[in-house]
Amino acid sequence: MSHGDHSRDPCPYVILNDFGGAFAMGAIGGGIWHGIKGARNSPRGERFVGSLSAIKARAPVLGGNFGVWGGLFSSFDCAVKGYRQKEDPWNAIISGFLTGGSLALRAGPRSALGSAVGCGILLGVFEGVGVLMNRMFAQPIPPMQIPEQAAAPAPAVAH
Amino acid sequence: MLRTAAFRLVAPALRAPRPFSTTSPALIKIRHPSGPSTSPSSTPPASSSSDSAPSPSPSERPPPVPESIGTPPPPFEPEVSQPFTASRQTTSSGPVSSASTSTSTSASSQQPSDGSSVPTGSESQSSGAGAPLEPPSPASAGTSAEAASSAPFDRSKLPSLDIDPEAAIAEPEPIKEGESGEKDGAGAGAGAGAGAGRKGRTGAGRKEYVSSIERQRRMWARLGLGALAVGGLGAVWYVGQKDDGQAEGAPTSPWARFQHNMSEVFDYFNKPAFKVLLPDPLPPPHQRPYTLVVDLDGLLVHSSWDRQYGWRTAKRPGVDYFLAYLSQFYEIVLFTSQPLYTAAPVAEKLDPFGAYLPYKLFRESTRYHQGKVVKDLSYLNRDLSKVVMLDTNAEHSALQPENAIIIKPWEGQSGDKGLVDMIPFLESIGIYSPADIRPILKNYQGKDIPIEYAKAEAEMKRNVQEEWERQHPATSAGAGWLSGMFGSVAAPGSQRPNQPLTYLEQKRALAQRAYQEEQKYWRDNAEEFKKMIEEDKQRQIAEMKGSILGFVTGGAKKPEDEAEKK
Amino acid sequence: MSFFSGLFSDRQQSPAEPSAAGELFNSANFRSTATPSASPAAGPSTQSSNGTVPDANLNAPPTAPAPSALDTFSAAYDPSKLHPLAGLGDNLDFLQLEEDKLTDVHGAQSVLPSRGWTDDLCVGTGTTYLSGLAVGGMWGFREGLARPLGNNASFKLRLNSVLNGCTRRGSFLGNSLGVLAIFYNIANSSMDAFRGKHDALNSMAAGAISGALYKSTAGLRPAMVGAGLMTAAAGGWSYFKTAV
């Protein structure tokens, strides 16, 4: 397997990173979102307090949801990668499927299946868009022009 | 709920044909107990039968305010459902009344008539078709107990609020389950099916009430799905019809045609991003006669991660020499299955001046063949008889195995010589310039090339020496030509004078000298080149920022920039 | 023989080459009786007939092998000896890639390599959140086990109670710790960037700030208490880092 992408740590350690990243995203995003929402829903004069209390109540929960989702996804991703020994978009789709299913497991098999399929499709869309972007932005190599003077002595021993 | 109740209040007459329960006196029918026609299994303790009991169902609006309060309200005859009976004819006419009073009274007598909250099953046999809300059993029990007394306005006849939340207002669908007489359904609950009786207060498992809007929505959804299915089949058929008239292996059956045409859609993702991966070869002075396609990871570099240093990329020992030396004979093309954004920085560091790796191809140029990443050399725009591919993974060359040399991947250990070991073989191809390298590679298939080639070269060298010995018999050292041969090995330094170099060796020597000169040239002008490259980069960044299209096209490099780098 | 013509004239294309190449490349099945002692070429010679003397950089042929007739004695052949300029050595060179560069704030090395403040934030938050989930989960597990469920509690009921307890306590503790970790990491990274170096003082100050911030809405005293607790925790963590 090629370890091309150096922006992510290798598999066991990347789960920590993903958990934290997702949690931070959820908490900070949730903080902003619920801050504004709380401020808007509070009577004038109490806006700041209202916003603060909304943040305190809801932002950690949102962060926790995001965090669990991201961490579960990452663990499944590592597991699937370790099992398949390949790196391709199907890893992400399968992991999404498993994540969606396991998060809705307590609601019953049908609900779990629905959630799993939804998550899988969502990740399929992500991956497809990613591949599309890669292809669209790929530039063919332009033809080289013969330099006016050879940049290198070009010792052409071969003939 | 409120809306439906209001609606019901406003236009009761409209629903005359429908078996709703209404509060309109016009629609309230006085029912007589139908006698012991209840199913034997049913045991309606307190049937919701209230023949004359004026107890409205709890969710119904109270009866209209009479003109004068003095007059007693008209007897209120709610529609109550009866225990499910085999005979359903009564249902058509609307909610039927409950079971026999006899049974009801007998049952009710067992119960406290004060409307206690003892759940009396019974009743709610939502007799299928449009059973109205049942009055709760205690109330009905109470009322039925006092049926005879039928006081005008009896508090005890008021319905208790202990209702079954699952009670359905109207259920046009026929009930499937029998035994509506099942006891202890919670409170009233006229929902469809007797499942309520079994499940207790939760009403779980009962068929839900579906409002008309919901029914409409479901119908539309089903229609839509049906249309989708039909459309999908039609599309399959249509795509199968389209016949491009290809000559080669034109699929005949519609299904095969469909598959063929559909695969064209996916080809966008499967085939390489460009039709032609490399630009046309340059004219002879600049173009090397052969092309060497190398992989990146496992061949030239190796990435590793550890807790102390994080990610590190190690260069294989001798990689600089390999690239610099062989670029005299080959046009070296880097073809890797990593995407551009991960491999381009590595390639840049490997070859800062852009001299040894003139072309770099990344994952966008690979192809998906039967689910595997494959480097298809036929897109290279080069003569395949002069292309050698050096790779560590046999899958990558699945389409042109005759052009590939597969060597073991490098796992990052130091003191490795695998790359430099390959140089003699590759340089001899360059020196001897065979017309087609594929038969040569075929000869070496499955063998350890460095060793095998070294043996072959040793053989050749030996032949040359023998020949030379024959022509120049040894005059010194006394021993025969055999000892001369061995002697050259035993004492490495004591080569016999005038020993010939093979053609190969000579060329090799020339090439090595040329390599040294080139290195000297790069060293001397390194500063200049670095500056030029830096200016290049700055110009590109400025261009990208300046142009709107720069974002869309990702900053395509102009050709003169490429040339300037050379 | 062809080699002589090659020897005596230095020409571009010689008709002899195909045969030479043929001999080289077709004799892959090497069944000769030549002993491994035959040197694979590149013997240095101080002079040769046509004067194309290679310079003295070329090395001697490979080491002397055993005089057995084993052809596949691969130790005898060392093709890399033909190219001494390759500079083969025992150390590994590493490419200096920008994206792999670890953080260069002095003293900021942590248990896992980090490339900057984002890595610190993510890994730190992830670790504390996970440990909060684990500890809270255990707490809730015990709670769920001990919950009174009535006379005949089935396995499903008990399982449900345990799961409820785990998710309740686990998420509560995890969320709280995670938020604390976010505050701490942001404060820590800001101070590192501001001061240019990292030491235990940074950690503890960041701990104080985050503790105070976390409890700030409850009043002054709880805020101080929180700050004190977090400072102690940060100090403990710094100590632990140096020990690992």
Q: What angle do CA B98, B102, B104 make, to 5 degrees?
A: 50
CATH number given to B290-469: 3.40.50.1000
Q: Are B209 and B188 in contact (CB under 8 A)?
A: no
Residue B14 CA, chain-centre distance (Å), reads 52
User: B274 touching A, CB under 8 A?
Assistant: yes
pLDDT one-digit tens code per residue, B297-353: 888 888 888 888 888 888 888 888 888 888 888 889 999 888 888 888 888 888 888
Kindly report the pTM of this predicted structure: 0.62
Nearest chain A alpha carbon to B312:
A6
Residues of A within 8 A of B339 (CB-CB) are 4, 134
Nearest to C7 among B424, B495, B500 (CB): B500
- The strands making up B301-306's β-sheet, listed across from edge to edge, are B301-306, B310-315, C93-95
pLDDT one-digit tens code per residue, B187-210: 444 444 444 445 556 666 677 788
Please report how many Cα atoms fall inside a 13 Å half-sphere around the Cα of residue B68, on the Cβ side: 2
Nearest to A64 among C12, C171, C217 (CB): C171
Q: Are C7 and C50 in contact (CB under 8 A)?
A: yes
pLDDT one-digit tens code per residue, B235-254: 888 877 766 655 455 556 77
User: Encoding tokens for residue C99?
Assistant: 């994206």
User: B340 touching C, CB under 8 A?
Assistant: no
- Residue C192 within any structural domain of the chain: no
Q: Which residues of B480-517 are buried (b: 16+ CB within 10 A; e: fewer)?
A: ebeebbbbbbeebeebbeebbbbbbbbbbbbbbebbee
Chain C neighbours, 3+ Cβ pairs < 8 A: A, B
Give the E-state strand segments of B418-523 in sequence order. none
User: Could you state, in order of their start, the residue ranges of all structural domains in chain B?
Assistant: 290-469
Domain count, chain C: 2
User: Encoding tokens for residue B563?
Assistant: 């040339």
Contacts of A30 (CB under 8 A, 6+ apart): A55, A58, A59, A60, A61, A62, A63, A66
Catalytic sites of B, residue numbers: 295, 297
Give pLDDT, residue A130.
85
Residue A36 CA, chain-centre distance (Å), reads 26
Q: Which domain holds residue C213?
A: 197-243
Nearest to B282 among A4, A146, A152 (CB): A146
User: A114 touching C, CB under 8 A?
Assistant: no
Alpha-helix residue ranges (DSSP H) falling in B273-356: 319-326, 340-350
Q: B286–A146: do the CB atoms touch at under 8 Å?
A: yes
Q: B510–A157: do the CB atoms touch at under 8 Å?
A: yes
Q: A16–C176: do the CB atoms touch at under 8 Å?
A: no
Give pLDDT, residue B472.
79
ipTM over 0.90: no
pLDDT one-digit tens code per residue, C129-147: 999 999 999 999 999 998 8
User: Encoding tokens for residue C16?
Assistant: 């002899």
Contacts of B167 (CB under 8 A, 6+ apart): B59, B124, B126, B133, B134, B187, B188, B189, B190, B191
pLDDT one-digit tens code per residue, B452-505: 888 888 888 888 888 888 887 766 554 555 554 554 444 444 445 566 778 888
Residues of A within 8 A of C99 (CB-CB) are 6-7
Mean pLDDT, chain B, rounded, equals 70
Q: Are C32 and B456 in contact (CB under 8 A)?
A: no
What percent of chain A is modeled with pLDDT above 70? Answer: 84
Q: B563–A146: do the CB atoms touch at under 8 Å?
A: yes
DSSP SS3 for B367: strand
More confident residue, B12 or B444: B444
Please check whether residues C214 and C158 belong to one and the same domain: no
- Residue C220 within any structural domain of the chain: yes
Interface with chain B: mutation pick from C14, C19, C45, C115, highest number of B CBs within 10 Å: C45
Q: Are B323 and B317 in contact (CB under 8 A)?
A: no
Residue B532 pLDDT greater than 60, yes or no:
yes
Interface with chain B: mutation pick from C1, C2, C3, C9, highest number of B CBs within 10 Å: C3
User: A146 touching B, CB under 8 A?
Assistant: yes
Q: Are B136 and B162 in contact (CB under 8 A)?
A: yes
Query: Does an H or E element contain B306, and which?
Result: strand B301-306
Give pLDDT, residue B145.
46
- Residue C37 within any structural domain of the chain: no
Nearest to B338 among A4, A138, A144 (CB): A4
Residue B120 pLDDT greater than 80, yes or no:
no
Q: B303–A9: do the CB atoms touch at under 8 Å?
A: no
Residues of C within 8 A of A17 (CB-CB) are 119, 122-123, 126
